[in-house]
Amino acid sequence: MKKKISAIVVVAENGAIGKNGYLLCHLPADLKHFKDITMGHSIVMGRKTFESFPKGPLPGRQNIVVTRNRKYRPEGVTVAHTIDAALRKAELPGEVFIIGGAQLYAATIDRVSTLYLTRLHATFDDADAFFPDIDPEQWRVVSEEAHEPDERNRYAYTFVTLERVEGDK
């Protein structure tokens, strides 16, 4: 059976998703959200995103890392040399999640059927990694949950789930 491909991302104003190889800010509520959604599933990421993790592979998930480097073999991950191979190697049940970064999102967005978007209501002028533009007509919002900043989460944010409009992909 064909696997359902989802993407999960935190996006600030103007599509910004990262700078200098890292996330734009620390937002604990989003890290928990990410964990809740992806736990137990296969996650696919670019080599640069993998190398941004402070403690190596994310536990409880099959970490699939895409690289063109044939000699790249970090411990505890599944390595793939093309995006198609990465998707084929996904072994865990349910959705397979594209978790970034910019190159991976751009290369896969046309195949994604569910998008778990955290909108970060903040602007980062020095961002250098961006999410691809999406056509709002191709997506419908299935859930939306807004949060104000609090003592642990410095910015306002909204969890939005989007599904590709049927009949398109």
Ligand X SMILES: NC(=O)c1ccc[n+]([C@@H]2O[C@H](COP(=O)([O-])OP(=O)(O)OC[C@H]3O[C@@H](n4cnc5c(N)ncnc54)[C@H](OP(=O)(O)O)[C@@H]3O)[C@@H](O)[C@H]2O)c1
d(CA 75, CA 54): 14
* Residue among 76 and 167 whose Cβ is closer to ligand X: 76
| Site stretch for ligand X (CB under 6 A), options 89-97, 102-110, 141-149, 159-167 | 102-110
Residues in 15-74 that interact with ligand X by CB under 6 A: 17-18, 21-23, 45-49, 52, 66-69
Contact (Cβ atoms closer than 8 angstroms) between residue 123 and residue 11 = no
Contact (Cβ atoms closer than 8 angstroms) between residue 129 and residue 102 = yes
d(CA 131, CA 77): 24
Quick one: which of 5, 7, 64, 83 contacts ligand X (CB under 6 A)? 83
d(CA 82, CA 95): 19
d(CA 145, CA 143): 7
Any bridge partners for residue 22, and if so which? Answer: 19
Quick one: which of 5, 97, 98, 101 contacts ligand X (CB under 6 A)? 101
| Site stretch for ligand X (CB under 6 A), options 56-64, 78-86, 137-145, 151-159 | 78-86
Residues 124-143, one symbol each (x = binds ligand X by CB under 6 A, - = not), give -----x--------------
Angular region, 150: left φ>0, alpha ψ -120 to 50, beta rest: beta
Which amino acid is it at 107? A
* Residue among 137 and 145 whose Cβ is closer to ligand X: 145
* Residue among 10 and 112 whose Cβ is closer to ligand X: 10
* Residue among 117 and 139 whose Cβ is closer to ligand X: 117
* 162 is a contact residue toward ligand X (CB under 6 A): no
Alpha helices in the chain (DSSP H): 28-38, 47-51, 83-88, 102-108
* Residue among 126 and 137 whose Cβ is closer to ligand X: 126
Return residues touching ligand X (CB under 6 A). 9-10, 17-18, 21-23, 45-49, 52, 66-69, 81-83, 99-104, 107, 129
